[in-house]
Structure 1
Amino acid sequence: MAPTTQDVARPRILLLLSIVLLLAAGPAAASAHAQAPALTPVQRHVADQLVSVFENDTTRIRYDYVVDLHDGCGITAGRAGFCSATGDMLLVVRDYAARRPHNALRRYLPVLRARAATGSASARGLRRAFRTAWRHAASDARFRAAQDHVVDEEYFDPAAQLAGAAGLASPLAVAIFYDTAIEHGISTDPDGLPALIARTDARAGAPAVAGEGRWLAAFLDVRRADLLHPHNRARRIDWPESVGRVSALRHLLADGHLDLLPPLAIDPWGDHTFTLR
């Protein structure tokens, strides 16, 4: 549900620019031009469960989730909180249309294009019938594959690449960046993941200097501060309420779960413990 993807053609270009800027930052960053940390299928599943808890309050991957949260992002749906106002929902429905040309969501492509082009949070044209179609499509393996593909292309793969470029090596680091990419986006705006990485380097030094654990702790401090006081004024209502994401990730870091191996327990909101398996 990244807030800065109105132009859906830009994220990949911005990712490449972000990595170039990281590598140009100095010897420590340049030495970090390592391969993106690889996760096993088990570790990736745990990372996906983390995002699902934060986005949908369940360890089950909610392909069928769809709701209007009235948070300035329009309709929010699917496993990663894809939004009609930010462009990633358009990517999902467009991908699904390529996999299954005749589907009930295809008719909403013009509306989704218009919402993404202007960043409009209007739910007009995306109400009951759209939500019913989304829930019904979730039973189709091709629709689930479309959601998975957009998550990988727009969030997980860029997060892993940025982790490698920053000099991070642990699966937990990738999971932290992955969740940050989902919420903050990978654009070069002040709230985006690359900006948070740069601010952390300025505060703690590069991971090669600070050590991965200390650097990640500093990164989570930077992210928490950004959630409490985002540059994007539209997020100043809902983002402060999501600092539990950072608290849960901080506990995993403090407990030494850099390998991201289950079972892991998290309680982001202070009222329920989720077990990641």
Structure 2
Amino acid sequence: MDPETTAHPHPSRRGVLAALGALTSAAAIGVPHVAAASAAGPGLDDPAKKEIAMKLVSSAENSTLDWKAQYQYIEDIGDGRGYTAGIIGFCSGTGDMLDLVELYADRRPGNVLATYLPALRRVDGTDSHDGLDPYFTRDWRRAAQDAVFQQAQNDERDRVYFNPAVRQGKADGLRVLGQFAYYDAIVMHGDGGDSASFGNIRRRALRTARPPAQGGNETAYLHAFLDARVWAMKQEEAHSDTSRVDTAQRVFLRQGNLDLNPPLDWKVYGDSFHIG
């Protein structure tokens, strides 16, 4: 999606990313019988549920349910993370865009983005466009027409964000909504270890409630997690609009729709969305 067509150009997560393996180990959090705790019904990784998750995130990230139209999306949204692009908002300043373009170069040597790899390495950790302008956005949109690049975006989304979130959600005994709440949090905040990272949001929630795998009430725990998420969002001006929690995830929770079963109706940034 071209920048001028973005209805609400607003930021997504992105603290500097770190390995999520420690979060996804049931042993690391002392959870016995994880499989039994998370065995009731399909998880967010069920294809139909995953499609819902992609649409929910796209409603918040790009103000549309058409998440597959976002492979070509790229703009600098002024959040200090350089260019934000693609289906999950890979950022030139946080390392995940670099990882994506490296993967694409491995799969399609000599592709139109490969020449930008030295520049992406230089600007990693900054908001600089040095070596990227003036043609990087044009070339990103060209690359987005390539099915190989689209698949690379899907795979990096799953490796860095989706799969770790689902694993941790299942380890905590959460159903689809809880797994999605984890996913959306990792998408926005990453897990770089700062106070607003996913791991710290989860730890903050655990101070006041326990997840089902630890004998707690799922609804009470998810309210605690969403409270912690709102707190984290308000630590950064760019994330201070919490409607993706307040008028979306919290709505489903109050309805008792822990499996995200359609029909779903929600609002983000004042826009209404529906999945039938």
TM-score by length of 1: 0.86
SS state at 1:238 partner:
helix
1:4 CA drift (Å):
3.0
Partner of 1:162: 168
SS state at 2:102 partner:
helix
Provide the rounded CA distance (Å) in 2 between the counterparts of 1:43 and 1:151: 16
Provide the rounded CA distance (Å) in 1 between the counterparts of 2:107 and 2:153: 12
Q: Deviations over 1:154-182 (max 9, x none)?
A: 000010111122232x1111111111110
SS state at 1:89 partner:
helix
In the alignment, does 2:125 pair up with 1:113?
no
Contact 1:166 1:206 in 2 (8 A): yes
Provide the rounded CA distance (Å) in 2 between the counterparts of 1:16 and 1:39: 18
1:25 CA drift (Å):
4.7
SS state at 1:204 partner:
coil
1:35 CA drift (Å):
6.5
1:239 counterpart letter in structure 2: H
CA RMSD of aligned residues (A): 2.0
In the alignment, does 2:226 pair up with 1:220?
yes
1:141 CA drift (Å):
0.7
In the alignment, does 2:103 pair up with 1:95?
yes
In the alignment, does 2:174 pair up with 1:174?
no
1:199 counterpart letter in structure 2: R
Partner of 1:71: 79
In the alignment, does 2:276 pair up with 1:268?
no
Q: Please, which runs of 5 or more residues in structure 2 have no aligned partner?
A: 1-11
2:255 counterpart letter in structure 1: D
1:132 CA drift (Å):
0.5
Contact 2:56 2:65 in 1 (8 A): yes
Contact 1:155 1:182 in 2 (8 A): yes
SS state at 1:267 partner:
strand
Q: Deviations over 1:253-274 (max 9, x none)?
A: 112222223331211112x211
1:126 CA drift (Å):
2.2
Partner of 1:232: none
In the alignment, does 2:101 pair up with 1:86?
no
SS state at 2:274 partner:
strand
Contact 2:60 2:244 in 1 (8 A): yes
SS state at 1:93 partner:
helix
SS state at 1:190 partner:
coil
Contact 1:197 1:219 in 2 (8 A): yes
2:112 counterpart letter in structure 1: A
1:90 CA drift (Å):
0.7
TM-score by length of 2: 0.86
Partner of 2:139: 133
Percent identical pairs in the alignment equals 37
Structure with bigger helix share is 1
1:111 CA drift (Å):
0.9
2:104 counterpart letter in structure 1: Y
Provide the rounded CA distance (Å) in 2 between the counterparts of 1:187 and 1:228: 17
2:267 counterpart letter in structure 1: D
Partner of 1:153: 159
Moved over 4 A (4+): 33-36
Provide the rounded CA distance (Å) in 2 between the counterparts of 1:135 and 1:47: 24
Provide the rounded CA distance (Å) in 1 between the counterparts of 2:219 and 2:38: 19
1:149 CA drift (Å):
0.5
Moved more, 35-44 or 45-54: 35-44
Provide the rounded CA distance (Å) in 2 between the counterparts of 1:134 and 1:25: 40
Partner of 1:58: 64
SS state at 1:275 partner:
strand
Provide the rounded CA distance (Å) in 2 between the counterparts of 1:85 and 1:167: 34
1:57 CA drift (Å):
1.1
SS state at 2:97 partner:
helix
Provide the rounded CA distance (Å) in 2 between the counterparts of 1:95 and 1:246: 32
Partner of 2:5: none
In the alignment, does 2:245 pair up with 1:246?
yes
1:87 counterpart letter in structure 2: G
Partner of 2:6: none
Contact 2:38 2:173 in 1 (8 A): no
